[in-house]
């Protein structure tokens, strides 16, 4: 694996700047990178670390408003920083290819897949149209796309996300490039789909002995894909090492803290007694958007001081259940009980006190906070609205809430949401929910838009608040690591039905329902051999969508 | 046919020039990236621009090209004025406004300058009364107090300075007197005086732009036109915004049958082209006006406001719907907030930027519609001075362009006055939209 | 295809509702307005004829359906001016509204056609170029020029063009008094000046929208993907951005063509072009209700038809709708 091979890509002291208003500020502060032929390098880091920027710079490309201010990028002896535009265009697509994060957005909706596939080989004069169509079909077959002979003649919107991502990998392979940049190719996919794409990418990269830079924020994913790993933090390299060395013995504190995130786990509280009245009880809820049924007979209980994680992939009805509980979507059948009392189905018919008791924290803090109101106003409004406090006493209460979420009141009271970081915004969202002094909070994917370290902070905060204030949480998530960290009980949903429910420990140990099993086994682990083992165990045809279809 | 040959020859020459320019650039700069990566199209563009510049200079020096010289001089004067205005804006004002002026393109500075000048001329066309001066002062004080209570000290100081400056202008203009030399309805014995003030050509220095067919001073009527045309358009737009904006935001917030009803109604009204609909309704209003004793102009204001409010409704609703789906609105609804709080505290503050830009666009549209109606003879009625009507009345002078260029200018001045304001407003709106869309290419 | 039928039905309903709106608007007039319009000089017969043509003795709904029924057989009635003229002249030689409008509608369509033939290709091309060379001096110059021409009233552009191309440099005719006896070339020459004026007005709009529609797409990931496949800037715009910008471009073209058929009013008046717009304005001035009503309906129908076409074309240009899952 690590025998000495020709150097393909050599980056030295790369410096990149981005523009905001009139000033240029640094994004990358001098990064070195070596890549040999046939080698896969994993680039990992949190958002803002400059992973994608380096990936694109390796192609001699910068996005609008970004420029290379220093250093060199050499691809096979060609200086990409100073090369004429025409020379660079000749390399792109032919010798260096790119696989983007969202295949659904990166395929042109106006053309068929195969037309986009053959564009690079035909335009670069690598091969004729009919040859590259035949080759494309062959690649589709290799990547185990269903109906390889026919799928290329579909438009992007007619193909599912996981399949598109594989078709995009095929497109990158069209000219048999020396180097492929994978820019978070599986981030937007569900776990069961991700596994299939990972297996396909790894197989084809190995088969054609292509060098690759694999960019991701997910350690477990990169562990499966890369020979070497480079860790980045805000435009600086933290460390670089062989994958196994990096996983077993990271040197730097930052890397260690990244590795440690996954170890946060709260002890599970014992299940509530059968005679206890649950805070929230969902009973036989069936709901639909217009004529489209979304939920079928969903039932579960949430007890005082407990966290119930509702797990499932996109479209499984998790968020719809939350909408039924809050009364935004009155269910067709069934009812929602609060402390044993039936709540009116429509939120408009609920009393102020009933509304106060159930609060919500949203996934996207950007859309959850009114951009035109200050933090003080955002948190102060529910306080004033429910308790009628005003003047200094209102201010005191808001300060108290800001203290609770670990933000300094004097600094943040007059700020607007746009002046806060993602994690801080999410904290303000929590404070707004707390301001109503509720018993029950729905957390809708609250950590999925955040970096892992920040997300961990939010989870710890929520756990602390639960212990201090005796809150009950309904925790909607698709991430099983989050479930492991915070949940007491787990409800697994699929296609609008509850597939399985029970205590956390019980859920993470077999025997499972077949779907839960697939879900659990698809979560990548921080072990470089995990994917090999899984494929050996289940076989290539028993993972991902193929396995779901069999159910 | 030889004309075509000339055109083709010129184009070929320009094409060759472009090629030489690029090749020369590469050779001189030693293949610098600027020239190395230049496409031929770009090089051709530079050559074409150079050719146009050369042609323009040549034309400027021709004795016969009076109008071209005027156009060039006008353009240069406007550009310089806009530049100086922007420099001024960078020097005085609060930190916020200075930053605004620093980032402003020249076109937007020009637009703001034009709007300021027009407002100035419109307000002070005639003698203002003492009462107006006092009202302005009182309103200014009240507004300053409100701003002081709601925002920080820095903003209040800046606003106070602005109010003081406006008051000062009012007091000075009260003492100086009207801008217009004569009244808008004042009829003199000298009719059809030619513009230019040269007695040898049939002009009169008392009337620098001449008089019209019944002997009214054209300059004064132009100045009063600002008051009438712009003022009426402004009031109409306000009305349209009040109607369309309120209903649009309501429809977005409430949804359901109210939204359906209003939206379908607006669809139908928008299926009739606005100018045509306005003309139809004006026909009917013209029959009603004398019977009810209400001036036709009031009918016009209401008719155009209603027709235009449909467009405002569409935009306000679209903007509102984009905001209503936000999670913070859901949070407010689930809190149990009332309609008033939702619309005024949560939605409106986020809708102001697009609505303000739309106000500029709508104003231009209303202004042009009224000008067109007046030009067709069914808009603002005499004896009020109005630019659209003036263009129609003076249009025949165009034919004297070759003998008396000044005479031909008067109808164009009235039409140009309309164009200048709409261009100015559009420049400002364009800049605002670009800023808010954040499209930084 | 169901969606297209739906749009067609919707267009038809809109047209019907518009006809009701126009009818009701006109019937808001006071009952004795014929007298008011014709003034003191009206003969008894003329007033009677007008009253009769208005069918004032019937109910509103009955009148509407009778009007609609006649409309479907293209019987648009007779204009008041013609009725008055006829009664003064002894009842002979009246021309119906349909006969009055038909040739003028042809002229207006001719003018609109000439304008569209110049404006559409030029503006789409300029829009693409401006998007390709965005933020260069070329783009800025085009931007300023187009903003200026959008903002100017039509009559300003018209008189400037007359001044430049007819008075100072007599290349074209300032008056466009075309008639059916002229040859196509002659007609074209006389139509050129109003057509150029309209071109200036609509071109700016179409060009800006084309540019904006393309630039909007340039931030999309698939455009970046095309660049990263090493495609030339021209190919990126023409092959990857343009097909996706078609829907908004088609829409703005249709909107501007609709504007051509309606906004010609002012331009026709300036150039004394014998089109339907001028007839409309003249009739508005003398309050000749049957003509005003008929013209209004024609304008609305053209407007609705063009918007409908645009709707259907943009549905057809969208692969999501053309190739359902």
Cα end-to-end span (Å), chain B: 44
Condensed to tens digits (0 to 9), the pLDDT of residues A150-166 reads 888 888 888 887 888 88
User: Are C162 and C174 within 8 A, CB to CB?
Assistant: yes
Helical segments of B177-230, H only: 218-225
Q: Yes or no: is domain B199-437 CATH 3.30.530.20? A: no
Q: What are phi and psi of B109, to 5 degrees?
A: -60, -40
The H or E element spanning position B402 is: none
- For position B439, what pLDDT does the model report? 41
Q: Is C165 exposed, middle or buried (0-12, 13-18, 19+ CB in 10 A)?
A: middle
CATH number given to C103-322: 1.10.3720.10
In angstroms, rounded to a whole number, what is the distance separating the alpha carbons of residues B410 and B396? 10
Helices marked H in A160-190 — which ranges? 161-173
Interface mutation vs chain B, best among A327, A354, A358, A370, most B CBs within 10 Å? A370
Return the closest-CA partner of residue A182 out of A194, A192, A190, A172.
A172
B211/B221 Cα distance (integer angstroms): 9
CATH number for the region A280-509 comes to 3.40.50.300
The parts of chain A modelled with pLDDT lower than 50 are 1-3
pTM given for the model: 0.83
**pLDDT for C262-292, tens place per residue?**
668 888 888 888 888 888 888 887 777 778 8
CB contact under 8 A, A61 and C228: yes
User: By three-state DSSP, how is residue B369 classified?
Assistant: helix
On the question of pLDDT at C118 being above 50, the answer is yes
Residue of B nearest to A435 (CA): B335
Q: Determine, for residues C37 and B271 on separate chains, whether the beta-carbon distance falls below 8 Å.
A: no
- C229 vs A92, A110, A155: nearest CB: A92
**Which residues are CB-neighbours of C305 under 8 A, at least 6 positions away?**
C11
Domain residue spans of chain B: 1-61, 63-104, 199-437
Q: Give B434's contacts (C-beta < 8 A, 6+ positions apart).
A: none
CA–CA min distance C135, chain A (Å): 12
Rg (CA), chain B: 27
Q: Count the Cβ atoms, other than its own, within 10 Å of residue B350.
A: 19
Provide the CB-side half-sphere exposure for C141 (13 A, CA). 11
Per domain, the residue ranges of chain C are 103-322
Buried b / exposed e over B380-401, threshold 16 CB at 10 Å, is bbeebbbbbbbbbbbbebbeeb
DSSP E strands, A418-512: 440-444, 472-477, 489-494, 497-503
Contact (CB, 8 A) for A169 and A201 = yes
What pLDDT sits at residue A319?
A: 87
Neighbours of chain C (3+ CB pairs under 8 A): A, B
H or E element at residue A96: strand A96-99
Listed as ranges, residues in chain B with pLDDT below 70 are 1, 149-155, 191-192, 195-202, 437-441
Beta-sheet pairing, A228-233 with A40-44: parallel
Decide if C156 touches B, using CB distance below 8 A: yes
Q: So what's the pLDDT on residue A533?
A: 79
End-to-end distance of chain C based on CA atoms, in angstroms?
14
Question: What 3-state class would DSSP assign to A285?
Answer: strand
From the list A477, A483, A428, the residue with the least C-alpha distance to A448 is A477
The answer to whether the Cβ–Cβ distance between B273 and C263 falls below 8 Å is yes
- A125 contacts on C by Cβ (under 8 Å): none
Q: CA C113, CA C275: separation in Å to the nearest integer? A: 13
Put simply, the chain C residues between 60 and 119 with a CB less than 8 A from any chain B CB are none
B290 CB-near residues (< 8 Å, 6+ apart): none
Residue B329 contacts residue B347 (beta carbons within 8 Å): yes
DSSP 8-state assignment for residue B200 = G
Contact C275, C169 (CB under 8 A): no
Q: What is the pLDDT of residue A3?
A: 47
Neighbour order of strands in the sheet with A341-342: A292-302, A280-289, A333-338, A341-342
Per DSSP, what are the bridge partners of residue A301? A281
Nearest-10 Cα torsion for A69, A70, A73, A74: 130
Inform me whether the C-beta atom of residue A373 falls under 8 Å from chain B C-beta atoms. Answer: yes
Q: Do A158 and C244 touch (CB under 8 A)?
A: no
Cβ pair A372:B440 closer than 8 A: no
pLDDT score at B236: 93
Spatial separation of the C-alpha atoms in residues B193 and B190, rounded to whole Å = 6
Coil vs helix vs strand at A49: coil
User: What is the predicted pLDDT for the residue at B305?
Assistant: 93
Peptide bond connecting A431 to the previous residue in cis, omega within 30 degrees of 0: no
**What does DSSP say about strands A358-361 and A497-503: parallel, antiparallel, or unpaired?**
unpaired
What does the DSSP assignment read for A58-92?
Answer: TTT---TTEEEEEEEEEETTEETTTS-HHHHHHHB
Which residue among C221, C230, C325 sits closest to A89, beta carbon to beta carbon? C230
DSSP tag of C98: H
Cβ separation C215–B441 shorter than 8 A: yes
CA distance C10 to chain A (A): 22
**What is the distance between the alpha carbons of residues B390 and B220, in angstroms, rounded to a whole number?**
12
Q: How many CB atoms are located within 10 Å of the residue A93 CB?
A: 28
Residue of A nearest to B324 (CA): A367
* Adjacent-strand bridge partners of B47: none
Q: Cα dihedral sign for A418, A419, A422, A426?
A: negative
A454 in contact with B, Cβ within 8 Å: no
Whole-angstrom distance, CA of residue A210 vs CA of residue A223: 18
* Backbone conformation region of residue A234, classed left if phi is above 0, alpha if psi is from -120 to 50, else beta: left
Q: How far is CA A85 from the centre of its chain?
A: 35
CA-nearest residue to B415 within chain C is C156
Q: What b-and-e string marks burial along C22-35, b requiring 16 or more CB atoms within 10 Å of the CB?
A: bbebbbebeeebbe
Does the N-terminal peptide bond of residue B383 adopt cis geometry, omega within 30 degrees of 0? yes
pLDDT at B238: 93
Interface check B38 vs C, CB under 8 A: no
* Average confidence (pLDDT) over C298-317: 85
Is B334–A381 a contact, with Cβ atoms under 8 angstroms apart? no
Report ipTM for this prediction: 0.84
Q: Radius of gyration of chain C from Cα atoms?
A: 24
What is the residue whose two structure tokens read 């530049």? Answer: B83
Interchain contact, C296 vs B272, CB within 8 Å: yes
CA–CA dist A202, A543 (Å, integer): 15
The rounded radius of gyration (Å) of the Cα atoms in chain A is 26
Chain C interface, best mutation among B44, B279, B394, B428, by max C CB count within 10 A? B279
């Amino acid at each position: 694996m690590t025998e000495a091979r020709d150097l393909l890509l050599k980056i030295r002291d790369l410096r990149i700047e981005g523009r905001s208003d009139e000033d240029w500020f640094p994004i990358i502060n001098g990064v070195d990178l070596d890549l040999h032929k046939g080698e896969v390098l994993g680039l990992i880091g949190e958002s803002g670390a400059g992973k994608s920027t380096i990936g694109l710079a390796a192609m001699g490309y910068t996005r609008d408003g970004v420029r290379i201010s220093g250093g060199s990028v050499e691809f096979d002896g060609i200086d990409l920083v100073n090369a004429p535009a025409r020379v660079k265009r000749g390399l792109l697509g032919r010798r260096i290819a790119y696989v983007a994060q969202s295949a659904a957005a990166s395929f042109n909706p106006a053309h068929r897949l195969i037309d986009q596939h053959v564009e690079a080989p035909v335009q670069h004069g690598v091969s004729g149209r009919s040859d590259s169509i035949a080759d494309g079909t062959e690649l589709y077959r290799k990547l185990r796309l269903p109906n390889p002979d026919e799928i290329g003649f579909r438009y992007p919107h007619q193909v599912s996300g996981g399949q598109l991502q594989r078709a995009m990998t095929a497109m990158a392979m069209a000219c048999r490039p020396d180097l492929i940049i994978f820019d978070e190719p599986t981030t937007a996919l569900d776990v069961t789909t991700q596994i299939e794409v990972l297996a396909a990418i790894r197989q084809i990269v190995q088969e054609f002995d292509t060098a690759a830079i694999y960019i991701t924020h997910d350690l477990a994913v990169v562990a499966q894909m890369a020979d070497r790993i480079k860790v980045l933090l805000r435009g600086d390299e933290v460390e670089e090492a062989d994958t196994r060395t990096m996983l077993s013995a990271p040197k730097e504190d930052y890397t260690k803290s990244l590795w440690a995130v996954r170890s946060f786990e709260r002890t599970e509280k014992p299940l509530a007694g059968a005679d206890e009245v649950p805070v929230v009880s969902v009973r036989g809820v069936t709901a639909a958007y217009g004529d489209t049924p979304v939920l079928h007979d969903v039932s579960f209980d949430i007890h005082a001081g407990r966290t119930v994680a509702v797990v499932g992939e996109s479209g499984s009805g998790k968020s719809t259940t939350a909408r039924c509980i809050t009364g935004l979507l009155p269910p067709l059948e069934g009812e929602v009980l609060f402390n044993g009392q039936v709540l009116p189905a429509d939120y408009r018919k609920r009393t102020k006190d009933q509304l106060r008791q159930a609060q919500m924290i949203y996934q996207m803090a950007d859309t959850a906070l009114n951009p035109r109101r200050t933090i003080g106003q955002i948190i102060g409004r529910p306080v004033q609205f429910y308790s009628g406090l005003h003047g200094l006493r209102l201010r005191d209460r808001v300060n108290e809430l800001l203290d609770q979420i670990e933000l300094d009141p004097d600094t943040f009271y007059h700020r607007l949401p746009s002046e806060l970081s993602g994690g801080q915004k999410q904290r303000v969202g929590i404070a707004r929910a707390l301001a109503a002094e509720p018993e029950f909070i729905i957390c809708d994917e609250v950590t999925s838009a955040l970096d892992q370290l920040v997300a961990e902070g939010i989870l710890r905060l929520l756990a602390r608040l639960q212990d201090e204030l005796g809150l009950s949480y309904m925790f909607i998530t698709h991430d099983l690591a989050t479930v492991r960290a915070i949940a007491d009980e787990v409800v697994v949903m699929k296609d609008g039905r509850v597939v399985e429910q029970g205590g956390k420990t019980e859920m993470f140990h077999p025997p499972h329902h077949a779907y839960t099993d697939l879900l659990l086994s698809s979560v990548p682990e921080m072990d470089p051999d995990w994917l090999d083992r899984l494929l050996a165990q289940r076989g290539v045809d028993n993972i991902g969508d193929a396995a779901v279809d069999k159910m | 046919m030889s004309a075509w040959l000339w055109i083709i020859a010129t184009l070929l020459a320009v094409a060759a020039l472009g090629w030489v320019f690029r090749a020369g650039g590469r050779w001189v700069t030693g293949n610098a990236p600027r020239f190395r990566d230049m496409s031929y199209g770009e090089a051709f563009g530079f050559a074409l621009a150079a050719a146009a510049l050369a042609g323009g200079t040549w034309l400027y020096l021709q004795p016969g090209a009076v109008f071209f010289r005027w156009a060039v001089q006008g353009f240069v004067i406007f550009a310089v004025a806009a530049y100086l205005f922007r420099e001024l804006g960078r020097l005085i004002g609060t930190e916020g406004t200075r930053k605004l002026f620093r980032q402003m393109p020249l076109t937007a500075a020009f637009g703001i300058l034009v709007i300021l000048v027009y407002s100035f001329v419109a307000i002070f066309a005639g003698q203002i009364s003492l009462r107006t001066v006092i009202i302005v002062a009182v309103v200014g004080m009240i507004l300053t107090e409100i701003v002081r209570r709601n925002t920080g000290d820095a903003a209040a100081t800046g606003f106070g300075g602005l109010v003081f400056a406006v008051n000062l202008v009012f007091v000075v203009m009260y003492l100086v007197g009207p801008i217009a030399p004569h009244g808008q309805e004042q009829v003199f014995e000298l009719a059809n005086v030619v513009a230019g003030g040269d007695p040898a050509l049939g002009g009169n220095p008392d009337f620098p732009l001449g008089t019209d067919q019944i002997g009214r001073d054209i300059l004064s009527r132009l100045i009063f036109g600002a008051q009438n045309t712009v003022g009426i358009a402004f009031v109409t737009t306000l009305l349209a915004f009040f109607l369309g904006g309120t209903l649009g935001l309501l429809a977005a917030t409430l949804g359901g049958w109210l939204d359906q009803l209003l939206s379908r109604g607006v669809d139908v009204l928008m299926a009739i082209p606005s100018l045509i609909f306005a003309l139809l309704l004006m026909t009917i209003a013209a029959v009603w006006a004398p019977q009810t004793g209400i001036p036709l102009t009031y009918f016009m204001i209401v008719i155009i406001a209603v027709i235009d409010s449909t467009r405002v409704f569409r935009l306000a609703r679209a903007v509102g719907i984009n905001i209503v789906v936000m999670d913070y609105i859901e949070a407010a609804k689930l809190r149990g907030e009332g309609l008033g709080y939702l619309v005024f505290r949560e939605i409106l503050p986020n809708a102001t930027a697009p609505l303000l830009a739309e106000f500029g666009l709508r104003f231009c549209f209303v202004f042009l519609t009224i000008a067109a109606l007046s030009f067709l003879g069914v808009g603002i009625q005499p004896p009020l001075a109005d630019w659209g009507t003036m263009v129609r009345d003076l249009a025949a002078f165009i034919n004297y362009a070759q003998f008396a260029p000044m005479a031909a200018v008067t109808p164009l001045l009235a039409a140009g006055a309309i164009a200048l304001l709409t261009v100015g407003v559009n420049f400002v709106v364009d800049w605002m939209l670009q800023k808010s869309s954040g499209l930084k290419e | 295809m169901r969606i297209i039928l739906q749009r067609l039905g919707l267009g038809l309903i809109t047209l019907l509702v518009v006809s009701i709106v126009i009818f009701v608007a006109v019937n808001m007039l006071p009952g004795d307005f014929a007298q008011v319009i014709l003034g003191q000089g009206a003969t008894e017969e003329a007033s009677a004829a007008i009253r009769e043509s208005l069918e004032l003795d019937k109910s509103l709904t009955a009148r509407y359906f009778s009007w609609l029924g006649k409309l479907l057989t293209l019987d648009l009635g007779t204009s008041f001016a013609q009725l008055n003229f006829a009664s003064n002249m002894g009842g002979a030689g009246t021309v119906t509204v349909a006969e009055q409008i038909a040739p003028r509608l042809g002229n207006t369509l001719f003018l609109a056609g000439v304008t569209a033939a110049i404006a559409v290709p030029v503006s789409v091309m300029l829009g693409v170029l401006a998007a390709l060379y965005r933020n260069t001096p070329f783009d800025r110059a085009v931007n300023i020029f187009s903003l200026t021409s959008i903002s100017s009233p039509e009559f300003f552009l018209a008189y400037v063009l007359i001044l430049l191309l007819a008075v100072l440099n007599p290349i074209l005719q300032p008056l466009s008094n075309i008639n059916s006896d002229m040859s196509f070339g002659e007609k074209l020459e006389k139509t050129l000046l109003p057509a150029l004026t309209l071109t200036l007005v609509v071109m700016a709009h179409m060009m800006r929208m084309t540019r904006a529609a393309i630039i909007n797409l340039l931030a999309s990931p698939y455009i970046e993907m095309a660049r990263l496949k090493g495609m030339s800037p021209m190919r990126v715009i023409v092959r990857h951005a343009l097909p996706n910008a078609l829907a908004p471009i088609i829409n703005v073209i249709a909107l501007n063509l609709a504007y051509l058929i309606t906004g010609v009013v002012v331009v026709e008046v300036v150039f004394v072009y014998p089109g339907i717009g001028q007839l409309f304005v003249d009739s508005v001035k003398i309050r000749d209700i049957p003509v005003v009503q008929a013209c209004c309906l024609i304008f609305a129908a053209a407007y609705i038809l063009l918007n409908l076409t645009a709707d259907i074309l943009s549905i057809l240009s969208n692969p999501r709708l053309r190739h359902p899952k």
